[in-house]
Structure 1
Amino acid sequence: MYTNQNNTRQCPHSPPRRKHHRILFALLAIFLVVLFLWKICIPAVTCMQRSHLPSVSLTSTGSYPVSAKGLNSSNVVLIRRQDGRILMDKGSTQKIYPASMTKIMTVLVALQKTPFLHHKIQITSDILTYAQKQDASLAGFHAGERVQAEDLMYGALLPSGGECCIALARSISGSETAFVALMNQEAKKIGMTGTHFVNSTGLPNVKHYATVKDMALLLDYALQDSTFRSIFTSHTHQCADGITVTSTVFGSKYSTRLINGAILGGKTGYTNKAGHCLASLALVNGSEYILVTAHAIPNGAHIQDAVKVYNRL
């Protein structure tokens, strides 16, 4: 007996669209979280880390194995970075005028307060007018230019641009005075007991002073930050707008060549009262050293003193 049965035909099921969409949304969410962390959180954490670098200290046994004889600079301190030992001391705790060595602190504080280094800051005409009236050295930026914060930091440390320091200070704190308060707070935290700042540039002021020992302590501390170190040890830097800035140490006519090493970086300074100053970092025989000198009189004597000292190691 034949029975007619209704045959049912099942169509193949396509993957549910909702599940597919959920996967896409999850991947998009992960991407946005990663992007947020990269753009916002990581720079913020980096700034926090810069504000909490390990403390450093300098030690002295009372005897100094490296002679300071024959140097032109009135004040000298040489330290070995690996243990903070003072190897040369010539008036290291006497009050000096740090001149543009001040900009080491300016850039350190600017790094601590600037999470986005590509943030652009405008160079206003009044900044340039003020810097020019004070006879400050300039990096070469023009009124109306919008310059990346990182480029201003290079401009402050390499060619010693006063306009860069003032622009950073005003952008971060609203005024140079407020920014200098942060500089003095940082100096106290680091242990710079013989230092007081009144401006971000190092322009002459009887209330703006330091010691070479304090400046060595500051440089040793700041060099722990990789971005600061990269700026400090650069010979030249090409800014985003095409301007190239050059270090006053390596761009001078005076040789920085050493017998058993190399000067890695430095920050010069000069005013009539400060004389020629230099805070430098060198690698000699596999070890890093910091030398800070102040009040050398003839132009170039600060660099020549550095070469002499490092060649005595």
Structure 2
Amino acid sequence: MICINNHLKQKLLCIICIAAVFLTACSSNDSFADAYAAYENPYSIQQTSGKKINFFSSDLCVTGTADLGVNEVAAYTAGASGAFNITRKEVVYASSIYEKMFPASLTKILTAYIILNNCKLDDKVTISENAVNLEADASNCGLKSGDVISVESLLYGLLLPSGNDAAIALAEYCCGSVEAFADKMNQTAKSLGATASHFCNPSGLHDDNHYTTVYDLYLIFQSCIKNEEFVKIINTKEITVKYSDIKGESVQKTYENTNRYLIGKESIPSGFEVIGGKTGTTNAAGNCLVLLSKNAENEEIVSIVMKSASKTDLYNLMSQILNTFCS
């Protein structure tokens, strides 16, 4: 017997109702600025606006709570995983996609989304002492206090080597503090429909109150990949960026993507083109990957694996999901 908490019941019922309303009542191409507002109260918004609305779920892959296809994959362990055919708007594989999970550096997908929508790429950022005050084992992109670097270069540092220093620097530049940026993250996540998530920081540093789900990550990521700059960055294998240090002297750093498919450390499943994605790893989160790829039919696929026991298991399971459900 599947047990569903009241929040999830409400969310699923609302999505299903909205999808039904969209299919039966909305023939207009009009859209609403914050589509999730329609998710919360579609009828009052339609009455207020005086026109029909493309509701929140109209362009999404939507499914119920039951797992899909889990008996067709081998015993590579993961806490949760899913695959979404963006082109056909179908959930093609689902394993615990609504379960609360720790996202680790997958968090940086939302951080990048906010920065790309609120900051200019050529803006210059001065790195604070707080941004580089990291734990010894934290991933970083080698920044130092007083460095002056562009938003664009910081985004490469954020998404390729998964720099926590870049995440903090971008958060401070955008909102003035990590705390204010976290508030913006939660507001933004809700606007994208990711209502089962809560974020405490821009990097994914572990906090028991910093969590998401596979489905919420799909919602966030599918919004990100509509931005050409985001796709260009996650598709980059390696880049050398230049910036100035506190003395005004030139510095350059080379950042390599951590996506093993993209950099040739893992074999890409036959018939697939890997465009990019984001990795994440902490002790609590395990090994995680959000991936954007295309199959032989040129259909866009978003696939997600969270809390895998090892990188080997992570990529083995991801490949099996792609081969079995997405080709």
> TM-score scaled by structure 2?
0.74
Q: Which residue of 1 aligns with 2:63?
A: 60
Matched, 1:161 2:163: yes
Task: For structure 1, list consecutive stretches of 5 or more residues without a partner in the other structure.
Answer: 1-50
Q: CA deviation at 1:298?
A: 1.8
Q: Radius of gyration: which is bigger? A: 1
Q: What percent of counterpart residues are identical?
A: 27
SS at match of 1:202: coil
Picking from 148, 170, 173, the partner of 2:175 is 173
Q: Structure 2 CA distance, aligned partners of 1:96 and 1:203?
A: 13
**Counterpart residue type for residue 243 of structure 1:** K
Matched, 1:120 2:124: yes
**Counterpart residue type for residue 206 of structure 2:** P
Q: Structure 1 CA distance, aligned partners of 2:61 and 2:193?
A: 10
Q: Structure 1 CA distance, aligned partners of 2:202 and 2:138?
A: 11
Distance 1:52 1:157, change over 3 A: farther
Contact 1:237–1:246 (8 Å) recurs in 2: yes
Equivalences for residues 187-198 of structure 1 within 5 A: 187-198=189-200
Contact 2:104–2:205 (8 Å) recurs in 1: yes
Q: CA deviation at 1:136?
A: 2.3
Q: Structure 2 CA distance, aligned partners of 1:72 and 1:263?
A: 22
Picking from 93, 104, 109, the partner of 2:98 is 93
Q: Which residue of 1 aligns with 2:228?
A: 226
Q: CA deviation at 1:202?
A: 0.5
CA deviation string 1:233-292 (max 9, x = no partner) = 222222134322111114777414221112210211111111000001111112110011
The root-mean-square deviation of aligned C-alpha atoms, in Å, is 2.2
SS at match of 2:311: coil
**Counterpart residue type for residue 62 of structure 2:** T
SS at match of 1:295: strand
Q: CA deviation at 1:63?
A: 7.6
Q: Structure 1 CA distance, aligned partners of 2:315 and 2:157?
A: 20
Distance 1:300 1:139, change over 3 A: farther
**Counterpart residue type for residue 111 of structure 1:** L
Matched, 1:243 2:253: yes
Q: Which residue of 1 aligns with 2:285?
A: 274
Contact 1:101–1:278 (8 Å) recurs in 2: yes
The alignment of Structure 1 onto Structure 2 pairs a total of residues equal to: 260
Q: Structure 1 CA distance, aligned partners of 2:130 and 2:106?
A: 24
Structure 1 residues 227-236 or 270-279, which shifts more? 227-236
**Counterpart residue type for residue 111 of structure 2:** T
Q: Structure 2 CA distance, aligned partners of 1:111 and 1:203?
A: 21
Distance 1:121 1:52, change over 3 A: farther
> TM-score scaled by structure 1?
0.77
Matched, 1:104 2:109: yes
Q: CA deviation at 1:65?
A: 5.7
Task: For structure 2, list consecutive stretches of 5 or more residues without a partner in the other structure.
Answer: 1-32, 36-53, 244-251
Q: Structure 2 CA distance, aligned partners of 1:141 and 1:264?
A: 27
Q: Which residue of 1 aligns with 2:206?
A: 204
Q: Which residue of 1 aligns with 2:186?
A: 184
**Counterpart residue type for residue 109 of structure 2:** I
Q: Structure 2 CA distance, aligned partners of 1:293 and 1:244?
A: 28
Q: Which residue of 1 aligns with 2:83?
A: 78
Q: CA deviation at 1:71?
A: 2.9
Q: CA deviation at 1:89?
A: 0.6
